[in-house]
Amino acid sequence: MKTEGRATRLLAASLTLCLSLAACQHVMTSGLADFKSDGCSMFPDGSYYSCCYLHDVAYWPGGTAEARELADKSLRDCVSGITHNEALAQAMYNGVRVGGGPGLRTHYRWGYGWPFPYRKEYSPLTPEEQRQVAEKTRTLCTTIRLNPSTGGFVVLIADADREISATQARQICPGL
């Protein structure tokens, strides 16, 4: 009985140390929230809101610094392609580079789908995290629906139906 009590105390002390130092963060499983988008976050949703939706899809699970940079450049290129306004595209790019890091406690940070501070640094997604992203993405894809009159796809952005192009929808859900 004495040994059992000592083992329980040792386990509790180890767990407390592990949690307080975040030394075992990699073994703690934290659930990925369902995908949601607020459009262009701190920026007006112009004719380019579909670019922001794709950007949110990329930001939602987070990952490496290289993946974030690619997402931010894709946002800039998408906005530029739709608006033909290089200054606007660059301003949006600069904004997400400054305000979208993983260490920020915001609803639009890199990796915002994970509870903060679970994923507050850049790192590749673990196999378990990848599994969660794939599962939640499949669920997201069931909510995207074709608009037969335009050929685009309807998505929910900030509690409103909005439309993204078929090409953009297939970037998220290749089977559409």
pLDDT of residue 24: 45
| Tokens coding 176 | 């559409």
Q: Which residues are paired to 164 by β-bridges?
A: 153
150 CB neighbour count, 10 Å cutoff:
11
Q: What is each CA distance from 136 to 25, 45, 47, 132, 133, in whole angstroms?
A: 22, 25, 27, 6, 5
Q: Give the pair of three-digit tokens for residue 81.
A: 């392609």
The pLDDT assigned to 8 comes to 45
| The pLDDT of residue 6 | 55
State residue 50's pLDDT score. Answer: 96
Per residue of the chain (176 residues), give pLDDT as tens: 555 555 445 444 444 444 444 444 444 557 999 999 998 998 888 899 999 999 999 999 999 999 999 999 999 999 999 999 999 999 999 999 999 999 999 999 999 999 999 989 999 999 999 999 999 999 999 999 999 999 999 998 767 889 999 999 999 999 99
Residue 154 main-chain phi, psi, to 5 deg: -90, 130
Task: Please tell me the predicted confidence (pLDDT) of residue 7.
Answer: 45
Where helices occur in 60-121 by DSSP H, the ranges are 65-83, 86-99
Query: Does residue 133 sit in helix, strand or coil?
Result: helix
- The closest alpha carbon to 125, from 24, 26, 53, 34, belongs to 26
**CA distances in angstroms from 173 to 1, 63, 139, 166, 176, listed in the order given:** 56, 19, 10, 10, 6
